Amino acid sequence: MLLNDTSGDDARLLSFEDLNRDAASTDHDFNDVVFRVTATPDLGDGGSPSVPLLPVCGNGLVEDGEDCDDGNASNNDDCYDDCTIPAHCNLDPSLCTDVHRVWTPHGQHFYTTDSAEGDAVGSIEALGYFTLNNVSTPQLRPFYRCDHPDGIHYLYTSSATCEVWGAGAFDSRMGYIAKIQLPGTRPLYRLFNHSNADHIYVTSVVEKNHLVGIGWKLEGTVGYVW
């Protein structure tokens, strides 16, 4: 590790050896010196153990688990802020149903095929976050939206009876999701936050792993989407 002496116009790198030597000097004053710590990763030359570097979404480098990284936090381009690529249906356009991801004022994630509804319910996080097929085939199954009676929580599932919520929570069929990974599809992961009973559905492995790391429960892959 090196330290940058930024106290003067001519910044210089200080090693720990420099600091030890300078500290022993009686004519060097550290009181007005500002240091910036810079970690220099080991490149695996055998001199010391390598430290694995975690992917950093937004640094402009496409790393493990990222589909893209354009170096910004915008969702209005060809790379979302979670480093996934916006859904582009590779089917006939007439078969594609875009699903938008929304954040509600109640701290819940909401998904809809109607962007106007998304604007009315909360703040749209991503337009066309993923795509469903709107025609049934043997390799697809229905994907339903369920609204909890409290009007705050939402569930998205292939169960027409809305799993433990019961058939009374059924709202609508959003489209059809692939049972297996077909060409051009990617997994849709479902996670649950026990603290506020929020379900989130993500296509990003990086986001999924991050959420698990901060306490969300991974409930599995609900299917495959475009």
Q: Are residues 140 and 177 in the same domain?
A: yes
pTM: 0.63
Residue 127, in any domain of the structure: yes
Closest by CA to 139, choosing from 99, 97, 181, is: 181
User: What is the C-alpha separation between 8 and 197, in angstroms, rounded?
Assistant: 53
Q: Dihedrals φ, ψ of 209, to 5°? A: -65, -35
Residue 69, in any domain of the structure: yes
Number of domains observed in the structure of the chain = 3
Q: Are residues 121 and 220 in the same domain?
A: yes
Q: Are residues 137 and 49 in the same domain?
A: no
Question: What are the tens digits of pLDDT across the range 104-158?
Answer: 999 999 999 999 999 999 999 999 999 999 999 999 999 999 999 999 999 999 9
Residue 88, in any domain of the structure: no
Element (H, E) at 208: helix 205-213
Contact 222, 202 (CB under 8 A): no
Q: Are residues 18 and 67 in the same domain?
A: no
Q: Are residues 99 and 193 in the same domain?
A: yes
Q: Which domain holds residue 48?
A: 1-53
User: What is the C-alpha separation between 152 and 199, in angstroms, rounded?
Assistant: 11
